[in-house]
Amino acid sequence: MARNTRPVTHYMATRPDGTVPPTSSCMTTDPVPTVNLADHIGQIVDHPTPGKPWYDETHFSYFRTYTRPGELLERVEWPARLWVVEPLGETGTWGGYSYWVLCHQLRVVEETEPWHAFGHRGKQAMSVLTQLPDLVRQWADQWAADPDGTHRTYKAWEARVHESRALTGWARYRARYSRREAALRTATTLAADAATRAATEAAVAPHALAAILLRARCLAAGQLMFDRIRNGKYERSIRELLLGTELDTFTLPRPDALADR
């Protein structure tokens, strides 16, 4: 009986204007040729400066397509536009990067939604990033209403996060194995940036800011890797740490209780 396999989708990420970034990370002051995929939807595009298959000889030597969308942002900064493409002609790859498919010709099939750049859990990760400013304001209100109690709760949570290596170990290595390493790096960076802006606007104290930034980064990681940290009681406890479940159950004291202190 023939094995049922899914069709492979090839993606490319471009700058917001639709242009393909260089394939080489080497800096240059000379103009680097590029192609604007937005101008070629439904068309076949030839590479303007094809190099020797498949090595970086110039700053732009080939088209680099991805079969694992969670790694799309490894060489492209956010925000980015995403495209479904079809490599044509001879293709190649590099050892250790089997999710790359390199080519000198491709068809631009369509533009697709940006959340695909974060992989299978992209929608959930982007939803959290969108909600973070409001969430940070809520967390800031907790700190303002009960600084001492909130500090104790967060301190205990932070200790468990660091001891278990929930973010730096579990999330990181599961992201690597599931080809979402670039997605995780980008999501946690965006989360920290969003949290910093919201916390600064809320005039959060420095010690509270550090805890809130960690919570934002963990929450983004927990949502992104929700389906990869799930086996057994211990893994689920790691996931709860990332999601800040125990912090969500932390309730503010009654105003009259604060007045009695």
Q: What are the average pLDDT values for consecutive 10-residue runs of the chain, which has 261 residues? A: 73 98 72 92 96 83 96 96 98 91 98 98 98 98 95 97 98 98 99 98 95 98 96 95 89 40 39
The amino acid occupying position 47 is: H
pLDDT computed for residue 183 by the predictor: 99
pLDDT computed for residue 257 by the predictor: 39
pLDDT computed for residue 20 by the predictor: 96
Structure tokens at 98: 């089997």
The amino acid occupying position 93 is: T
Q: 3-state SS string over 193-241? A: HHHHHHHHHCCCCHHHHHHHHHHHHHHHHHHHCCCCCCCHHHHHHHHHH
pLDDT computed for residue 170 by the predictor: 98
